[in-house]
Amino acid sequence: MEITDQQHALLRRSRNGVLVTTGPGGSPHAGPVWYLWDGAEVRISTPGTTQKVRDIEHDPRVAFCVDDQVAGEYVTLYGEAAIVADERVTELTWPLLLAYLHPQEAATRWDRINADGSRVVIVLRPVRIAGRQQVR
């Protein structure tokens, strides 16, 4: 799978993406999420009780789309997602928070969003990509 420099840049500069999972009965379930692209995988921190987590536990196939409405660019990544629900959740979530928040604000946010300890991290290592460069 080839990701262009322009697509890497789009994935790095955007904060919001849309994660699409397969819901109950096979219907698509799409939801906006904050994410972090590390150059090889997408990380999404979310409560473990969400529909997207239940969907991935049932069927790990997902699509993840980011678009830049101003530039007219988009990229959609496809693959199987994994759920991380162990001691690595904090270390995987912290860089995501720091990408968008100052450290003090990130610490306050983490204390609030993980007060009940239910956070998990969805990890997508894409195997296929679609974007303006792939459409001919």
User: How deeply is 11 buried, as exposed, middle or buried, from its count of CB atoms within 10 A (0-12, 13-18, 19+)?
Assistant: buried
Is residue 116, in this structure, part of any structural domain at all? Answer: yes
Q: Which domain holds residue 29?
A: 5-131
Is residue 136, in this structure, part of any structural domain at all? Answer: no
Q: What is the CATH number of the domain that holds 23?
A: 2.30.110.10
Return the DSSP state at 36. E
Question: In this predicted structure, what is the pLDDT of residue 71?
Answer: 80
Taking the model in full, what pTM does it have? 0.91
Q: Look at residue 15 and tell me whether its pLDDT is greater than 70.
A: yes
Is residue 70, in this structure, part of any structural domain at all? Answer: yes
Count the domains in the chain: 1
Calpha distance 47→9 (Å, rounded): 28
Contact 108, 116 (CB under 8 A): no
The string of pLDDT tens digits covering residues 79-107 is: 999 999 999 999 999 999 999 999 999 99
